[in-house]
Structure 1
């Protein structure tokens, strides 16, 4: 600044109108800032009253509270300052600068609110008791949503400032394609993890079977899923590969259709064979927790008359099913013995000159 410029500014600084404008700006800034804080407090109390009167509003009250508490005090002071400038006369060339300043402040505050909303929602979903959500999937989703929020904020600010963002967006698109091709295997597992989280073909704690693998889901990660097998070892499988398999989820089984067979001696008379079906029906009914379906003489084998029994167990617990089946088998042995019906033993029929004879194997 030259000596001449100092001489030109000095009368402005000494004028009464300049200091009146400064005082006006300071006073209006403080008043508006106070009013903004009072308005935020009023909104906070209003939301709290909604939560006390309506159950639906109470469920989302935490989200609104967190968003309001994330209001940046410095940005609100800048807003108050920009409002106060409207009460004083300013040079015409400052108009566009003030409009850019308004957009910058509002874009930053909206991005902060949306970012906090995403974080609060994820925290609520992950840590709410009783919810069965995959935390890894939710974290990935949160990162993606927050990246979208801040990217949109940055691009909108650059566009408002007059920067041509078309070339920037095109460059980012080309760079994203190159990166995606380089890490396509990792990305396929990441998106498979998202698919598992949204579609929920299985969850942590489910017992699944695919190919020659059978075990309980221990962890669903960003790239892999870990399964604890029946023999004790941990099996690690890529998410993308896992979703390509035909998976049997036994944890979601509601009932079990059980088919078992037994054989009686070939010498059992027909009148006793007719009694076996009703006998089995009574046994299955008395045991309970299962529904009798049918029991029939299935066919003739070389050493036995085979019966097939079908019943439907009303529990998915494998251990409980085995307890029920064991009790059915024991009672069946007892009833057959009481009615003088012998279970078939492996045997062969020998034919000689004196006639056929049956011998135990």
Structure 2
């Protein structure tokens, strides 16, 4: 029978636990030493080679990137694209690639270990491919955008950013589907679910997507840019900003007009800034009492007036016909400037010079008139002698 004095004290329990822990630690040390003695050299050598290959791969990556990349040249040259692909190679991928090359030479892996290693490499390789494809897509977008770039084109930068986002989402979504398929997942059901969800989102945001794609069309096709004066429908004004959803236009009255891009492209757009020169047609009428000699000299005299104006190209001036109350001349000339104020100034100077020409030569401008003719009819059956008769002058 155990007496109360024979029960273990807390100190005895702590000493017993310490002895057990020390025994387990010694066991682990012995097992570790045995493992090191059996395969430690092999693992150490394999790890050293993996690390060495990894460092070599990184040095090669930096060297190839430095040789191929040219900062002074366009970022979208083939040489720079290859350099960017090399630079986008991830260090995790390089480390795993080194391990995959070394491990089969030092260890015989079980079927399960080989399957796990293959899955890890598949995941890393899929994401690495996504990084490479992203570089190529970005370079392609930048190259396409550079053909449409202007001095200050923030809308093009916005469009490029949006396209990059769409491209990145698509590339990494494909990479994720590839990973799921290789891991044994049901990709068909996932794609079907994404398709149904995409249709629902597309229908809900149909108007938004229409404006976005219309904005991209405006930015890339450039029917107009910032600063252009355009006429569409019953509206006209100067383009202040081309956004991805709407375009802002300052009208002649001074207010800002915001138009949805999809609606704006439905109109026929007249872009007056794209005109190299303005064609002007002027109709001039003189009275029928003008002598033939003066009528003959008018085209040549007007030609001299037009050719004396700087920045104006004479086209033609002819006696065009006989009107109801005037002999008609038609003048055609080109103002070699797209600015509307310059066009009005040149036209005004020419018209004033023509007026001065007519004043100096006694030529009168024609205007609608009516004449009252009084005739005397001697026949017995006609109206009384001296009866007035009104006729419209021709």
TM-score by length of 2: 0.77
Is 1:85 the counterpart of 2:103? The answer is yes
Is 1:228 the counterpart of 2:250? The answer is yes
Aligned to 1:111: 130
Is 1:260 the counterpart of 2:279? The answer is no
Partner SS, residue 215 of structure 1? strand
Range that drifts further, 194-203 or 151-160: 194-203
**Cα pair distance change 1:97/1:267, threshold 3 Å:** same
Whole-Å separation in 2 of the counterparts to 1:152 and 1:177? 18
1:342 Cα deviation after fit: 2.5
Structure 1: where are the runs of 5+ without partners? 1-6
Aligned to 1:188: 210
Range that drifts further, 341-350 or 143-152: 341-350
Range that drifts further, 137-146 or 148-157: 137-146
**Cα pair distance change 1:149/1:98, threshold 3 Å:** same
Partner SS, residue 289 of structure 2? coil
Residue pair 1:297, 1:308 contacting (<8 A) in 2 also: yes
Whole-Å separation in 2 of the counterparts to 1:223 and 1:128? 19
Range that drifts further, 35-44 or 96-105: 96-105
1:273 Cα deviation after fit: 0.8
Residues 16-38 of structure 1, C-alpha deviations (whole Å, 9 max, x = no match): 23212320232012101110111
Q: How does 1:1-361 map to 2 (within 5 A)?
A: 14-15=34-35, 16-48=37-69, 59=77, 63=81, 66-89=84-107, 90-116=109-135, 118=137, 130=151, 134-344=156-366, 347-352=369-374
Partner SS, residue 230 of structure 2? strand
1:176 Cα deviation after fit: 0.8
Whole-Å separation in 2 of the counterparts to 1:155 and 1:87? 32
Partner SS, residue 134 of structure 1? helix
Q: Which has the larger radius of gyration?
A: 2
Structure 2: where are the runs of 5+ without partners? 1-26, 376-385
**Cα pair distance change 1:220/1:9, threshold 3 Å:** farther
Partner SS, residue 308 of structure 2? helix
Residues 168-197 of structure 1, C-alpha deviations (whole Å, 9 max, x = no match): 111111111111112212221122122222
Residue pair 2:64, 2:83 contacting (<8 A) in 1 also: no
1:219 Cα deviation after fit: 1.7
Residue pair 1:264, 1:305 contacting (<8 A) in 2 also: yes
Whole-Å separation in 2 of the counterparts to 1:349 and 1:113? 89
